[in-house]
Chain A
Amino acid sequence: MTALAPLQAESPRGKGTPSISPRPGGTQTAGNKARRRSKVKRGLEPWLYLAPAFIVLIALLGYPIFQLVNVSLYDYRQAQVSGKAPLRFTGLENYQKLFADPQFWTVLGNTVLFAAACVVLTLLVGSSLAVLATRLRPWVRSTLFVVSLGAWATPAVTGSAVWLFLFDPTLGLVNKTLVSVGLSEFAGHSWTYDKWSGFGLVASEVVWCSFPFVLVTVYAGIQAIPTEVIEAARIDGATMPRIAGSIMLPMLRPIVIVVTIQSIIWNFKIFSQIYIMTNGGGIAGQNLVLNVYGYQQAFAASLYGLGSALGVIMTALLMVITLVYLRILKRTGEAL
């Protein structure tokens, strides 16, 4: 979106008065020529400025996506890559295979539910802590920030391994604690045995390592709200919930929306946590999400074509979600 800003700024000027004024005293034709030249120049100018961004975008985004789509249209396995078997164009066969496979739909459903739960929980935890942070004494607040930034800074792989260790059936601290307070049925309890318990465990790890981003951003947003506005509302007799609902939330909207889109994209793309904590997708693949499923098909099973088709579907889904979001934004007049 930001890339388009110069274009929009240019347009009002482009219609009427030229930015380079004709030389005074010049003949009619010379003036016309100059105007025409400057028009051409003006047509090219924004593109010149945008060129570096476009080149980078095409190299880093356009080309990989093009190859992804391209590969997904072929029967492309290890034998084809290393030149042992002929490359065969199969059109949409990979997609048809996926759509006909009930496992794909289960995995897609898992992914949507899992990501949605993670997004909602992350936002709830992050925002509540952000509100809490504004009311805390500075040193308590600093402690909260340091602690949560520690969680944020932990690499996903390390975090997952540590959580898995905490929830280990026999040696884990969690089960030991639960047993020691009298809940003896947790002795040897496996948290990943049941599908939803497994997803729950991974979701809590995901929330743990991603809420700090929401916390920091929303906290910054709250701090940026001018105190005068809130004071004015208070003088007008607004209650605290009313201030939160009618003043603070609308002012925080852009931030909340950015954070939400980010969370949706991140949580849809979760890989390491599921891969490590459920050992590659759980018992009989019950905890597979799209990304892990894609990895399993593309790299472990060397079905690169099929895996790419999954990648394309994933990309398309995320693009749709993002576009819908931007659309809603535009309609409510809150362009980013």
Chain B
Amino acid sequence: MKLARTAAAVALTALALTSCAPPTSNNAASSSDEQTGTVRVWLFSEVNQDPKSAVVKEAVTEFEAAHSGAKIDVQYIPVDSRAERFKAAFNDPSSAPDVAEFGNTDLASYVASGGLADVTADIKDWDEARDLDSKILATTEIDAKNYGVPWFVGVRALYYRTDLLQQLGLEVPKTLADVESVARAVRAANPGMLGISVGGAAQFSAMPYLWANGGSIATKEGDTFVSGLASTESREGVAAYARLIKDDICPAQTCAEFGGNASVQQFIAGKSAMTIGGDFNYKAVAASAVKDKFAVVPVPGKTAASVAPAFAGGNNLGVFNSSTHRTLAADFVKLLASKKYQQKMFDSMGNLPTFSDVQKTVAASNTQVAPFIQTLGAGTNFVPVTETWSTIDAQGVFTGMYQKIVTGKADVNTATAEAADAMNKAFGAK
């Protein structure tokens, strides 16, 4: 035993001497910019993949025709395992793609990892970029530099059952307070029905409540972010959302664990009178049993006729820092994110465009997207653009706050103070 221990100690010391620090890789921007060769592209795979592939294929053909000697190799990667894929690509630049699609909430952490190239100049030199929705473009910006081109946006609005509201003689909610009272009234009349299906883990449904009440998740002060969750306005917004997850609207037993998808599933299954769902959920709802009995309006704000600021979700296209085809990669991004192809993506996938003028055209000819475009027009908001947000998100700080309140583990003041504290700690760890 003693001998074995000594031997192990010797071996460990030897190892410690040979390799002291943990391994790191080098992600410096590539110096070469080849004008020919293969440009590797990562796009997310979809449940309904074919229409996306068709549009992308068209773009690839057009690009290859215009750039002789260049080839585009598109790989579809699953959204669920994207974190591992991207981290692996940052750790081993030789296996990284040149262009990638990524969620806009992931951007800050990718930039902090040194994985994404600054594309500010490319956007500046691009004619069409003038029409990009400025609020959406801002989600790609860190320290006045853009690290991606917005490809499409996703916003949430209020879905409601026309038949149920009519039966009870209820009006379509015009304020957030109306949403609550209508939801309560529907459930009182139909005890088997959720007044509005929202979830303790559905952070993007909760954010409009926070922002409409004048609250904020965090604001930038100098170099770092400071959480605003413990402010009076934020607490009002948090409390207003938490009031929905109560027995008389959406019982915590059922709803505390719901994320955004689960909430919408309840609506699709005909088990709830309202829900906060995205434009990307529209097709599924329109194909469900409630297809003739629902309508969509923007989530109302605090006062009548106002719209609650929605979370501007969506995906960007970006260029990898390690790319050896910098110019080709940026050109392909500009093509795939162009007005022409955004229009095609809308036609085939229903992805909302990021150009204000294209948004108006599609809203004019497609009434179902009007409430979402209206929400976008009313002004959107976003999570703090810092890499520490992904840490906060992974630790469940924001959703945990709501879950603690609705399960009675903490009151609004305690839960918001704790969450603000945890966030500030994470922001400070930078």
On A, residues with C-beta under 8 Å from B are: 3-4, 7, 54, 58, 62-63, 66-67, 70-71, 74, 76, 78-85, 87, 89, 169, 188-190, 192-193, 279-281, 283-286, 296-297, 299-303
Pairwise interchain contact A83-B396, C-beta atoms closer than 8 A: no
Number of residues from B at the complex interface, CB < 8 A: 46
Q: Report the Cα distance A109→B200, complex, angstroms.
A: 25
- Secondary structure at the B interface, as helix, strand, loop or mixed, is helix
* Binary A-proximity of B343-387 (CB < 8 A = 1, otherwise 0): 000000000000000000000000000000000000000000001
On B, residues with C-beta under 8 Å from A are: 1, 3-4, 7-8, 11-12, 15-16, 20-28, 83, 87, 90-91, 109, 112-115, 200, 252-254, 256-257, 387, 390-391, 394-396, 399-401, 403-404, 407, 409
Q: Which residue of B252, B256, B400 is within 8 Å of A285 (Cβ)?
A: B400
Pairwise interchain contact A82-B403, C-beta atoms closer than 8 A: no
Tell me which residues across on chain B come within 8 A of A80, comparing CB atoms: 24
- Report if A79-B257 is in contact (Cβ < 8 Å); known contacts: A54-B7, A66-B16, A283-B200: no
Tell me which residues across on chain A come within 8 A of B1, comparing CB atoms: 4
**In whole Å, how far is A196's beta carbon from the nearest beta carbon of chain B?**
13
Pairwise interchain contact B400-A284, C-beta atoms closer than 8 A: yes
Q: Report the Cα distance A83→B322, complex, angstroms.
A: 12
24 residue pairs of the A-B complex, CB under 8 angstroms, read: A58-B8, A62-B8, A62-B15, A71-B22, A78-B90, A79-B387, A81-B23, A82-B91, A82-B113, A82-B114, A83-B25, A83-B27, A84-B112, A169-B254, A188-B253, A193-B253, A279-B257, A280-B396, A283-B407, A284-B396, A286-B409, A297-B395, A301-B394, A302-B87
Considering only CB atoms, which chain B residue lies closest to A89 in the complex? B21
Pairwise interchain contact B407-A284, C-beta atoms closer than 8 A: yes
Sorted from nearest, which 3 A-B pairs have the closest CB atoms?
A84-B114, A300-B394, A301-B394
Pairwise interchain contact B109-A7, C-beta atoms closer than 8 A: no
- Report if A301-B390 is in contact (Cβ < 8 Å); known contacts: A66-B15, A82-B24: yes
Pairwise interchain contact B391-A76, C-beta atoms closer than 8 A: no
In the complex, number of A-B residue pairs with CB atoms less than 8 Å apart: 118
- Report if A62-B257 is in contact (Cβ < 8 Å); known contacts: A84-B27, A302-B390, A303-B391: no
Tell me which residues across on chain A come within 8 A of B109, comparing CB atoms: 78, 302
**In whole Å, how far is B169's beta carbon from the nearest beta carbon of chain A?**
28
Tell me which residues across on chain A come within 8 A of B387, comparing CB atoms: 78-79
Q: Report the Cα distance A301→B392, complex, angstroms.
A: 7
Tell me which residues across on chain A come within 8 A of B87, comparing CB atoms: 78, 81-82, 302
Interface centre among A71, A286, A296, A302 (most CB of B within 10 A): A302
Tell me which residues across on chain B come within 8 A of A70, comparing CB atoms: 16, 20-22
